[in-house]
Structure 1
């Protein structure tokens, strides 16, 4: 039989990334003022068309970066080569104002919401472009907060430019060989030096090695280096702005920076991630001396949201592919489409509910971020933002890839083929389980946030109670049981947060529990609105809330909390025996 003979599977339709999304349009109707929503609808419709027509076809052109370390005469040159597809997507993101929207403030306190709605829509087709763009956003925020007037004058126009010819990208150089997320063991040292013409701040010379430096194609970087004694740990670190391909500094990698090698990663192959040696590298102090970790936390608040959006946007694209495929793939002897097979649709429902919960939670936090940056957030809102920032990152990174894997399975063998793009999306999103903190690191940050502001949990509970009270007046009986379950779960939080200070096994389950409750509260807020305005999605919104609470994560995470509480000293000891075998408490490994 010739290949063109016999059965031919019809291709699945191309869904519009925004107009056919099952969650985002309705959510934006609720959280954006009418005039802003009208403008955003038009822009996202245009953006979706461009993504499908112009950006999606670039996928085969995105290839791993490479480096030429020496020229034909043996001279060290460290020339970085990125692929044509990567460069074109990077230019597209800059032209679209990937980060600029947040700082142009055309949408006032809603600017972050508009920016991240656009970024999430772009994620599925833009090959982890959020990595250099997100770090550039974080660096921009740091310069706004801590930069000298010269830095603001010289650098901000480039960091926010929509012209690829003049725009700057920034890397983020924190990770070193001794520590990973633990920067307290940073070895790179910073020595004060004399000023020269063109200095944008207090100059230092850096010497060390950065082990995992993303966006190696950047024009600059922000990085930590030791200005105090080693015994001070993280308290002896300062933050620096490191110039690379900008101004008086020539290409390709000048300023005493040597590209040792590019990392061979599981995913994000388009992103050039490098091991960098710093030898006599000039840099400028960014922020107060020996307060680098405090300063970098402000960047972390931004990059963790970018990380979350990458997870949720990748899940969105995988779900879209699986949903579209179900409308053309026939089973049962070609008699029934997958979309009409109840068992198959039930699997797609699980992915959709996860996606809906993550979108509502993520944009709840983004709304608070926008208000905070515009100076409009109340004390209570600022406290809630501090709790939600590590929560959304840890939770989305942990669970989104599971939904993506389920979407892959919904296509059968076709889902495992690279042509669908699901494999690449999963590999790229998996980095978020690690970048900017694993779920364990995020869980520790959540408990630290409560320790620093004990009233944060009280503020959060008061906010949750207000949503529940508003909902009880509008929801009918089928949903009231779910509201009662949610209310009881909310009231347990003070006890659990209190016990987490002495029971190490509670920390990560507590983040999952807190995230599940937060998802439920934002889903409840949305359904209360959709019922009150008679939105077309109200029936689905109500059922999604009910299922999330009664059949989903709240019950599961509560069980985890309960198990972690039971004789946890014995459980810790048994955990070691299960993992390492034998009586590890008495034997040396």
Structure 2
């Protein structure tokens, strides 16, 4: 029996038992905007089902358990035989199986509106638990890389697109569905993969190779296969390394240890060794490994954007939910002018990230199946806008989550609030698939070597010219900066940040409610903004911005 002093009042109820999809107005509008009507209706039904599941007490409990019971490495069986297996909590498998069943692995390619539908679903799944998104992302992104070898793609792509999750390690072509991981970076090189030393030596007869070397970060080491970069006689090349060979024997793939990471605790990242007998199949031509795998990298970078947008959305939803129930100083927190300013500022950042991520997903759909001219335009836009978005959205994630945590006060600093897990997760997408400087330099390469990319970017932002004077001025300032190439590398971050804010502003001016676009342009483009959240001009319609971000719990 609780003591009489233990009366609980003025505490917000847990944010659960709600439709995560329907509550996200920016996401719902983006799906309707980027899909044709005949596809949007079906997608809406699928996403609503996912949204209800994502907001359920059961799914949230799975996310908690998967993070509180991180994966364990088993290098040997009881008899001393090397097995190199990673054990996960059952909750991890439930989340991963649900993601595969929802088509988040390889099913978006070639499906009408497939990338928009998957992007929205990926954001919903990531709000439940972010770690299980890694193997889903790797598998999805492997499809364009495998298409460098049509025969290989014909074998593997149907398995990647399957909605059946089989966790057991068996010969891949005997399974109903498979997952793929990736191994690019090595100890000495990191993002400079041309410094890789792993060797690939051709075998006589079967067209295969054997690998000798290591990978410092191997994503999703429990997968059925891995795309790996290695130095072949013809130069840096891409290879597919299956975990189990066709005869049922284990391919030598020694997992040395699992990384002890800041966040992403439910997901395994490993150091692996190839001992000179690890069999691999080439993907594409020798010496063209970077060109082969770059499509995979671009797709996973977009997932970094979507994953960060999902973390921001969940953090903002938690903050607005708390403030809508918590009373202090004579009224609800959400009605206090200063708290409303903070919440509105956070909501702007979240919506801008969502709108940008979904626009890029739509570009993938158009590049995959649009008319020829549209395909070229959208591919050029993706070439520059993906690293721009990857740089900026993932950078904004951590301060958004940290400020949202503070909105809950001491409650937000406690693990049960979910915010600490979101905060630990928040820096990852900025590091994964090339950290900030790598993204900024990639944008410079696109500007210097691919003039069509800049033209596609300017066409995209130009669609909103004349609608807001602050956006127009920001576009002019950006053009002036682009015209001056002196010292461009040292100021690459400044340039890419400007490009991202201009692109987000242009999209919001075209598609967001007037109060959202006005507040974004006044603060992010017009300069009427402080150095921390909660410094929006008080004359804006902040109440409408906050109300739009409120979860429908």
TM-score (norm 1): 0.83
Equivalence map 1:90-129=2 (5 Å) = 90-103=96-109, 105=111, 108=112, 110-129=113-132
Matching residue of 1:171: 181
Which of 79, 83, 96 aligns to 1:77? It is: 83
Matching residue of 1:216: 221
Q: 1:392 is paired with a residue of what secondary structure?
A: helix
Which of 496, 499, 502 aligns to 1:517? It is: 502
- Does the CA contact (< 8 Å) of 1:386 and 1:449 recur in 2? yes
Matching residue of 2:489: 504
Alpha-carbon shift at residue 37 of structure 1 (Å)? 2.3
Larger Rg: 1
Q: Does 1:338 align with 2:333?
A: yes
Which of 145, 148, 166 aligns to 1:146? It is: 148
Equivalence map 1:255-334=2 (5 Å) = 255-279=251-275, 280-332=277-329
Q: Alpha-carbon deviations, 1:153-190, whole Å to 9, x = none?
A: 32222211111133211111001011111111101000
Alpha-carbon shift at residue 28 of structure 1 (Å)? 2.6
Matching residue of 2:366: 371
Structure 2 residues without counterparts, runs of 5 or longer: 167-175, 532-553
Matching residue of 2:550: none
- Distance between the aligned counterparts of 1:237 and 1:309, measured in 2? 30
Matching residue of 1:238: 237
Structure 1 residues without counterparts, runs of 5 or longer: 197-201, 230-235, 472-482, 528-540, 560-589
Q: 1:467 is paired with a residue of what secondary structure?
A: coil
Alpha-carbon shift at residue 405 of structure 1 (Å)? 0.9
- Distance between the aligned counterparts of 1:85 and 1:244, measured in 2? 23
Q: Does 1:548 align with 2:520?
A: yes
**Is the alpha carbon distance of 1:462 and 1:103 closer, same or farther for their aligned partners in structure 2, counting shifts above 3 Å?**
closer
**Is the alpha carbon distance of 1:190 and 1:101 closer, same or farther for their aligned partners in structure 2, counting shifts above 3 Å?**
closer
Q: Does 1:41 align with 2:44?
A: yes
Matching residue of 2:133: 130
- Does the CA contact (< 8 Å) of 2:12 and 2:322 recur in 1? no
- Does the CA contact (< 8 Å) of 2:356 and 2:507 recur in 1? yes
- Distance between the aligned counterparts of 2:200 and 2:94, measured in 1? 36
Alpha-carbon shift at residue 81 of structure 1 (Å)? 1.1
Q: 1:468 is paired with a residue of what secondary structure?
A: coil
**Is the alpha carbon distance of 1:71 and 1:378 closer, same or farther for their aligned partners in structure 2, counting shifts above 3 Å?**
closer
Alpha-carbon shift at residue 375 of structure 1 (Å)? 4.6
Q: Does 1:57 align with 2:54?
A: no
Q: 1:2 is paired with a residue of what secondary structure?
A: coil
**Is the alpha carbon distance of 1:72 and 1:130 closer, same or farther for their aligned partners in structure 2, counting shifts above 3 Å?**
closer
- Distance between the aligned counterparts of 1:268 and 1:429, measured in 2? 9
Matching residue of 1:384: 381
**Is the alpha carbon distance of 1:72 and 1:380 closer, same or farther for their aligned partners in structure 2, counting shifts above 3 Å?**
closer
- Distance between the aligned counterparts of 1:462 and 1:510, measured in 2? 18
Alpha-carbon shift at residue 211 of structure 1 (Å)? 0.5
Matching residue of 2:13: 11
Of residues 48-57 and 112-121 in structure 1, the stretch that sits farther from structure 2 once superposed is 48-57
- Does the CA contact (< 8 Å) of 2:225 and 2:242 recur in 1? yes
Which of 351, 354, 357 aligns to 1:356? It is: 351
Let me know the Cα RMSD of the aligned residues. 2.1
Alpha-carbon shift at residue 490 of structure 1 (Å)? 1.4
Alpha-carbon shift at residue 104 of structure 1 (Å)? 5.5
| Runs of 4+, deviation exceeding 4 Å | none
Structure possessing the higher relative contact order (Cα contacts under 8 Å, 6 or more residues apart): 2
Alpha-carbon shift at residue 283 of structure 1 (Å)? 0.4
